[in-house]
Chain A
Amino acid sequence: MHVDNFAARPHAASREEGGRPSGQQPVVIARGVTKTYGRTRALTGVDLEVRAGEVLGLVGHNGAGKSTLMRVLAGLEACDEGMVTVCGRDASGEAGPRAGDFRGVRMAYQETSLCPDLTIAENIWVSSRHCLPRMGWRRAAGNGARRRLDEMFPGHGVAPGDRVEDLSLAQRQMVEIARASLVDRLDLLILDEPTESLGPDAARSLYDYVRTLTAGGVAVLLISHRIREILSVADRVAVLRDGAVIAERPASGLGEHDVLTLMGAEVAERAGNERVTAAEGASEDRPVLAEMRGTTAAGLRDVSLRVGVGEVVGLAGLAGQGQQEVLERLWRPVRRDTKVRGTRAYVPGDRQRSGVLPLWSVAENLVVSAMRGIARRGLRRPAEERAVVRDWVERLAIRGGPDAAMTDLSGGNQQKVIVARAFASAADLVLLDDPFRGVDVHTKTDLYGLIRQEAAQGRSVVWYSSENAEMAHCDRVYVFRAGRVVAELTGAEISEERIIAVSFAESDGAQNHE
């Protein structure tokens, strides 16, 4: 067997050319699939089928459940309820990386699953070893990779002996896609944001290749936030929202606006009641607390922004467009193009990795930032610390009280503690790194109120959120795309539709790669 014998696949060659895929049998069927992580229901009952020889586009906004659904379809995780059928066989019982039923389902990850220290050929061995010869595997893998890359991305400039860490981001993405497609029998290829770091030419040749694949009977599941791309490549479009597929339409006749509407760009009854109406227009007159002037760096292009005293500034847009780089800059203003007057506090979004101090209680976690300000000559003052803790536990109604172990708390309460940690300190500027993901609605409402209260008392907040609805609580919002500020919205201009529309607008963002 060889990895690159795709062209000689018997069952593919025998298929009728020309018949559109609507009549083809389904390759993967999901029925009523649910998946819960802790208290979060990522999938609430997904029904989806991907048919042989078609490209199914999957769209959904941040947190709609795309990633989880893909992991379930690729067999990396088992679903809690429901059924996943692969090529007619029920595969829901068997999941995990070694599951045999999912062998024909391959996924190109967004965060590449390549080993940076290994060469391309070695990476191919890791994921496709069952179809490589024992002797001469390196040459076979290398040849397969090179041939597939030549087919997919002419002029890729990658050699099979190159180490992955030496490749550019775009080249890594190419290798990742080629890696996913190199297998002896490919039934379904899942592409997760495949063009995120590819240039327009590479994207075009990738989609040409996708058509070749589908013509040979392979099903392709394409996930992208570039709706125009999806509409031009996919045969059908499925819209995922709040963990369920809410619409499945043929791509022909569907417009970009229709998809946006389906995704949830409809008007919401905003939580405007607790919004302290910031004096609109007055933001120009506020004294400036922090400022970036034409910053260009890794992930940022010519970003200028300004934070006034007592102002809540939002950073919106799709995930990973430069918002976190801005926060990083403001947190550690090392260069001259970033100026911050005053002290800072940071609320991380990934609480397990960069928020929770797991061995400590709520009180200890809460007060660790404020401790320095309270202490005198390096000696702690427990009574004052306790007062601060009591105040915040009460104010945010943290369940379990100050003495509960941090790890015993629910995610929402943990997040409250970490937010309280930042606000309990005397910092002038609080940086929020998408901290409310996966936090329940009541907690969120409490915390939104807190942010407005603190701002009213003269504290400034810079708030990155992947949930556009949250931006309504900001005085001013910068929308990011590909490391640039593509829009600055103030006051009444801030609306979810507006943000979605700007952040998906491809005209000015898509060509900026490379």
Chain B
Amino acid sequence: MVSFLLRRIGVMLVTALCLTFIVFYLTNLPAKLDTLAKTQAGSRISDAEVASWLERNGYNRPMLLRYGEWLGVAPGWTREDPDGSTTGRCHRLAGVTDPAAAPTHCGLFQGYWGNSTRFRAPVSDVIGARLGATGLLMMWVLIVMVPMALIVGVLAGMREGSRTDRTLSTFAIASTATPEYVSGVVFIALLASSTIGLSPLLVSWGWIDGPVLFQGNARSALEKITFWNFALPVMTIALYGMGYIARITRASMTEVMTQQYIRTARLKGVSFANIVLRHALRNALIAPFTVIMLQIPWLLNGVVIVEVLFSYPGFGWTLFEAAANNDIELLLAASVVAVLVVLVTQLISDIGYVWLNPRIRIS
């Protein structure tokens, strides 16, 4: 078990290094740096001025060296100006006036994440605040999605081929066929529009006070989360992710229900409800567990779409803004966070699978 863990963590670190380098390479392509120079120093500067701006800011050095700098394993660049003062990467990032006081290494490992050009603030502050907002969203998504998916899957899988099974399976298929940008649009049109859908009807009947049943904009959820402003974004993400988990649960449940020990329990005269709850459920939930963990990074897609659609300024929205505005440092930091989330959930899912499954744990 320990060697398995160590090997998994080793592979994970190598993967993280490879992925961050790819992201670094793609965000630091010469064309993107030119765009950065133009947004920072003025859009009408000449090519020579772009080159000198890049040189002054340490962008003209070899890619690998700059990757090392950014990680914090290579010393940051320093330069002596003609007037005798020295500047450097660490000098600027640390914000100290005395060049000698600046650290030699300043990268990710030392906690220097750079500054965002889009939000004009340190990247770590931006990411920290946004991650909190997205964490809340994800928490509610999981609270809604996982129990619903498991219930649908177990109900469908306990009697394979029955009418319940067919109905619920079709529902699960339909939910996997509805990406977030479709269900979000349908939900908003149906529930959050003051001109069509259900809201005008309900208003005319006097059932609701406000103009709409739910709000199509989740910005106000930053101050206070209410059912009114948060239900639609949560439902939109949960619906798409749910179908897949439900189908895995159903497959796992139908497999368990054909096992010998279930038949034995049946013949012994145990009631059906008891068989499902006490004999089948535990074994049927091993496969869905790993899928749920693997689903979390996959939800990131949905989070970005939903946060943009409902203008909820969370992590996904920040990622989109950073990409749209060529905010290199922010995009890099957001990518690191996203990649870490993916790798850590993969690790947890692997460990959980081994731990939950005695057949693998003991061999």
Q: Are A and B a genuine interacting pair, yes or no?
A: no
Residues of A within 8 A of B (CB): none
